[in-house]
Structure 1
Amino acid sequence: MLDALKVLTTVVVGVMVGVEFSVAFVINRILDALPDDSGQLGRAHGGRMLGAVMPFWYIGSLVLAAVWAVAGWHGHGAGLVVIAAALLILSVIMSILLLVPINNRGRTWTPENRPEDWKEQMNRWDRYHYVRVAVIVAAFALLAAALV
């Protein structure tokens, strides 16, 4: 049962990392290259869509890692799992304090109602997101290392 938990946790966190990496380095670059207001509209739609899913994914990943840390406390790699869980906690805190407020504003914007500094706000979100991606990549790497 513990082995299944380890694999499930690693897969769930790994897929989350893949989605967030793609948003940071592929999707947002594509959206930014679109003409006229298409990029801003795409970011707003992405903010609504992913904003509805990601809280469950982040919290679920954290819960799975915490359960793994507790269940495998005396096993091989327990320290790595604890550090990974701590990094996932950091990613949730970063999300709540830094990224979600910007996303909550940006997902309601249209070309008619967006603020003058909307590009600056999106660039700030991108910078915070790069850091969050680095944090969850590190967590994923630690979980993968704990498997072997």
Structure 2
Amino acid sequence: MLPMVHPEVTISAETPPVAGEEEQLIAACIAAGGRPPAHVTWVVEQLDSKVKVQTNETQHSNGTTTVRNYLFVVPTRSINQQEVLCVVKHTTWKQEKVVPFRIQVHYLPTSVNISFLERLSEGPVFQCVADASPAEDTRYTWSRYHIYFVK
């Protein structure tokens, strides 16, 4: 009988999905090289979206198994930055391993707020704030129009 081997646990995430209406792969929790195979699940209680989970097992020639548990969800603004947990159980461990994963969803701004900050000698200073993800990739372009009224 082959000895038991504990798996290596990782989370693999694709490029963050863009908010939409199609179900997409968010992340995969991987328990690699365990003997016997690990039991892998997701805890997603805080998500307000319908979740689909798919499991895939790969048997290796050395008698170990890699278990991949894929998390699919419709990416929305409301699940951006929500935390889910990958839970892995294995007979070589006294307790389960819990690995947190923070979901990232990219989305366009839906609201833009422009506010007056102050007046300097060069003219007024305005601030533009837009709700978008990722925030650091949001670009602002300012334009100034002159309006002339003719009587």
**Bigger relative CO (Cα 8 Å, ≥ 6 apart):** 1
Which structure shows the higher helix fraction? 1
Asked if Structure 1 and Structure 2 have the same fold, meaning a TM-score greater than 0.5 normalized by the shorter chain, the answer is: no
TM-score normalised to the size of structure 2?
0.25
TM-score normalised to the size of structure 1?
0.26
Q: Over alpha carbons, which structure has the higher Rg? A: 2
